Amino acid sequence: QLQASGGGLVQAGDSLRLSCAASGRPFSNYYTGWFRQAPGKEREFVAAISRSGGSTYYADSVKGRFTISRDNAKNTVYLQMNSLKPEDTAVYYCAADVLNYCATYGCYSSGDKYHYWGQGTQVTVSS
């Protein structure tokens, strides 16, 4: 199971850190991604991290502002979000999968490839 937390209401330019806590299986076996969905829009990829944390992937819209990291000892993946913008407003979901067959950004960023999903946490950025 995945449990996302850390969302909230902030002003533009503020920061938030989201957490995705896993239970049941060693989190270190799984790639983990963050996705988001704004009202009326399709779900979109935000960031992903490899099992060890040695590789990370970002959507262009968040590159340089968001940082994904993980602490496998705590079975937790984080998304540090800085310089938030109103267009970052969305429900943020974490997802995990072994992704043994992925070798490209297109694969790691595809939500359809992830089998396990958390419940989502709301992030609202006011202007």
Given this model, what pLDDT does residue 27 score? 85
**β-pair type (121-126, 8-11):** parallel
Half-sphere exposure of 86 (CA within 13 A, CB side): 2
Ranges of residues in the chain with a pLDDT under 50 are none
Given this model, what pLDDT does residue 100 score? 87
Q: How many CB atoms lie within 10 A of CB 1?
A: 11
Q: Which run of H or E residues covers position 105?
A: helix 105-108
Say if residues 46 and 79 touch (Cβ distance below 8 Å).
Answer: yes
Q: Give per-residue pLDDT as tens, 39-52.
A: 999 999 999 999 99
Please state, in angstroms and rounded to a whole number, the distance separating the CA atoms of residues 47 and 32: 9
Using CB atoms within 10 Å of the CB of residue 78, give its burial: 0 to 12 exposed, 13 to 18 middle, 19+ buried: buried
Given this model, what pLDDT does residue 46 score? 98
Given this model, what pLDDT does residue 37 score? 98
Given this model, what pLDDT does residue 103 score? 87
